[in-house]
Structure 1
C-alpha cells in the first residue's frame, strides 16, 4: 500500500495538488495523510500576544484547523469516490518541516505531494518558501505540482543525472511504479563536457536499468557546461511532462537548491510536476 503525505494550507494550489495525487494514484491502494500545521498562524502577530491570549488563540486556531481538515477530506471524497483510497487528517501546532519529518518517520511515508506555492502565491517565483524547505530538508521524496497544473497521465519523464551516486532501491521503485501504468518514456540525461562514463558511473547506470525495467528508458548524453539551461531547453523541445532529480551530495540538484535562495534565481521556471528523490536510507517497502 502506498502512503502519501499531503501538506495543505487550504489554498487553491494545495487543493490542486491533492486532486493531482488522487488521479496519479487512482489505480493504487493508497493511504493519504492530509496535514495542516498552524504554529506560524498562532505567532503571526506576537506584539499583541500575552500568555492568557496565547492559550486561547492556540485553542481557536487548533479547532479551526481541525474543522478545515474535515471539510477538505469531505471535498476529496466528493470528487474522488475511490474505494482504494483512505484518508487521515493531521492537525499540528508545529513547523512544516518538523511535522513532515515526524510523520514521514512515524508512518513510513513513501511520498510527499504538495503545491509549488501556497496562499501567498507570489507570481514572480516558481517555488514558495515552504515548498523549498520541504525539498531541501525533509527526508522523503517530494512531488511538487505547479499552480493550476491540470492532471494528465504522464507520458514523457526527464531524469537528469551525473551517475555519481548509488541510487536507493526504494526510491527508484517508487518512480517505476508511479509511471509504469502509463507506458511512460523515461529519458536519463547525462550533461557533461565528456561523453565517457567511469566504471562507477556505468555501475550506477546498470543499477537504474535493473530497477526501472518496467519502463522504456532512453540513455542520453548532451555535451554542455550549462546544466540548468540544458535541462530547461530539453524539457521544452521534447515535450517533457515530469522532471525527476535527486537531492544529495554531488548531484545536479544540490547545486540548484543550495547555491541560491530559490530555484528561480537559476532560471529553472518549471511548469510541470517535479519529483525530488532524496537518496535517503529508509525502511524498504
Structure 2
C-alpha cells in the first residue's frame, strides 16, 4: 500500500500534480492524503482580531477548506475511477512545511507529490518557494510536477550519481517499483574525470544494483562536462521522462537548494523531478 501526500493550494498546477499521482500509481493500491494548510489564510485577515473572533474565523476557514478539498477529490474521482485508490481530505491549521512533515511522519508516507509552482505561479522561477521548502526540509521523497505537464509513462529514468552516497533501501525500492510498473529503463549517469575506483563507490553502486537487479540499466560516464550540462544533455538526447536526484549534505542537489535561487545553477527540468532524501526512515 502506497501512502502519498499531495499538498494543494487549489490551483490548477496543484490539481495537475494530483492527476499525475493518480496516473503514476494506477497499478498499485494507494492512499492519497490531499492536504491544505490554512494558517496563513487566517492570519492574513485584514482587521482587528479578538480571540473570540479568531476561533470563529478559524472554524469558518476550515469549513471552506474542507468543502474545497472535497470538490478536488470528487473531481479526481470523476477523472480516474480506480478501485485501488482512496483519498483523504486533510484541512490543517498550521504552516505548510510543518503540516506536510508531521503528516509524512504520522502516516509513514512513501512520497510527497507537488507542483513545481502553485497559485502565485511566478514563471521567472523554476520552483516555487513552498516546493523548495518541502524539498529542503521534509524527510520524505518529493516528486515535483512542472506546470501543464501531461502524464506519459516514465519509460526512461535518469539517475545521476557519484556513487559516494549510501542511498536508503526504502527509497531505492520506490524508484524500482515505479520502474517495474512501467517496464522503464534506468540510465545511471556518473559525471567525473575519474573512474569509479574507491571501495565506497563500489559498495554503494552494488547496493543500488541489488535493488534494481531485474531492471534494464544503462551506465553513462561523462568526463569533462559540468553536472548541469551533462544532466540536461542526457534529458534531451535520451528523451528522459523522470529525473532523480538526492538531497544530502554536500550533494549536487544541496548546492542547488542552498543557492539564493535555484535558477542561478541553470537546471530547469521540464520533466517530473524526484528528490530522494538521504535520511534514515523506517
Q: TM-score, normalised by structure 1?
A: 0.95
Cα offset, 1:225, TM superposition? 5.6
Write out aligned runs for 1:88-107 (5 A): 88-107=88-107
- For residues 254 and 224 of structure 1, the distance between their equivalents in structure 2, rounded to whole angstroms, comes to 21
- For residues 196 and 225 of structure 1, the distance between their equivalents in structure 2, rounded to whole angstroms, comes to 16
Question: Which residue number in structure 2 is paired with residue 276 of structure 1?
Answer: 275
- For residues 214 and 182 of structure 1, the distance between their equivalents in structure 2, rounded to whole angstroms, comes to 13
Unmatched 5+ stretches in structure 1: none
Unmatched 5+ stretches in structure 2: none
Question: Which residue number in structure 1 is paired with residue 265 of structure 2?
Answer: 266
Change (3 A) 1:194 1:87: same
Does the 8 A contact of 2:111 with 2:141 survive in 1?
yes
Cα offset, 1:48, TM superposition? 4.5
Question: Which residue number in structure 2 is paired with residue 14 of structure 1?
Answer: 14
- For residues 215 and 49 of structure 2, the distance between their equivalents in structure 1, rounded to whole angstroms, comes to 56
Cα offset, 1:211, TM superposition? 0.5
Does the 8 A contact of 1:132 with 1:262 survive in 2?
no
1:45-78 deviations in Å (ceiling 9; x for gaps): 4664444443332122111111101111111111
Write out aligned runs for 1:39-58 (5 A): 39-45=39-45, 48-58=48-58
- For residues 214 and 121 of structure 1, the distance between their equivalents in structure 2, rounded to whole angstroms, comes to 40
Question: Which residue number in structure 2 is paired with residue 29 of structure 1?
Answer: 29
Q: Answer with 260-269 or 200-209: which moved more.
A: 260-269
Question: Which residue number in structure 1 is paired with residue 138 of structure 2?
Answer: 138
Cα offset, 1:151, TM superposition? 0.3
Does the 8 A contact of 1:164 with 1:250 survive in 2?
no
Write out aligned runs for 1:97-246 (5 A): 97-224=97-224, 226-246=226-246
Aligned length: 282
| 3-state SS, counterpart of residue 81 of structure 1 | coil
Does the 8 A contact of 2:179 with 2:186 survive in 1?
no
1:86-143 deviations in Å (ceiling 9; x for gaps): 1111100111111111111111100001111100001111100000000000000001
Give 4+ residue runs of structure 1 displaced > 4 Å after superposition. Answer: 45-48
- For residues 124 and 149 of structure 1, the distance between their equivalents in structure 2, rounded to whole angstroms, comes to 17
| 3-state SS, counterpart of residue 69 of structure 1 | helix
